[in-house]
Amino acid sequence: GAVVSQHPSRVICKSGTSVKIECRSLDFQATTMFWYRQFPKQSLMLMATSNEGSKATYEQGVEKDKFLINHASLTLSTLTVTSAHPEDSSFYICSARTSGGLYTGELFFGEGSRLTVL
């Protein structure tokens, strides 16, 4: 199946710094990628939809200036957590949709990136 890779898988940073997480589709092109956040023992919460070459669409309640998303190519989307604080500590997961037809092709998920802000 299609492979989505996230990097880094784990990152620890100090409060106030910015952290960038990469999401790559390794063997397919993805015009659309999605970013999720998951707190312990909770479900995945959609943060934003990232479209190649255009601005991301954020879900209600997600600060776009806090979570910067860039989808510069058909195989790469990045999420930057700016001025991170301990409450931003979470598991961040991306998914990528194959550039297939409207109702074909499942979304493939990366393995997630665990962010710990000290």
Q: Which of 80, 82, 109, 116 binds other proteins (CB under 8 A)?
A: 109
Q: Of 11 and 82, which has the nearer Cβ to other proteins?
A: 11
Residue 103 makes contact with other proteins by CB under 8 A: yes
Tokens 């970013």, residue located: 35
Which x/- pattern, by CB under 8 A, does the window 72-101 give for other proteins?
A: -------------------x-x-x-x----
Cα 63 to Cα 42: distance, rounded to the nearest angstrom: 20
At residue 87, the 3 state secondary structure works out as helix
Cα 4 to Cα 75: distance, rounded to the nearest angstrom: 9
Cα 71 to Cα 51: distance, rounded to the nearest angstrom: 6
Residues 36, 59: contact at Cβ < 8 Å?
no
Closest distance of CB 21 from other proteins, Å: 13
Closest distance of CB 112 from other proteins, Å: 5
Closest distance of CB 16 from other proteins, Å: 26
Site for other proteins in 17-76 (CB under 8 A): 31-32, 34, 36, 43-46, 49, 51, 57
The residues that bridge with 68 in the sheet, in sequence order, are 80
Closest distance of CB 79 from other proteins, Å: 14
Residues 95, 87: contact at Cβ < 8 Å?
no
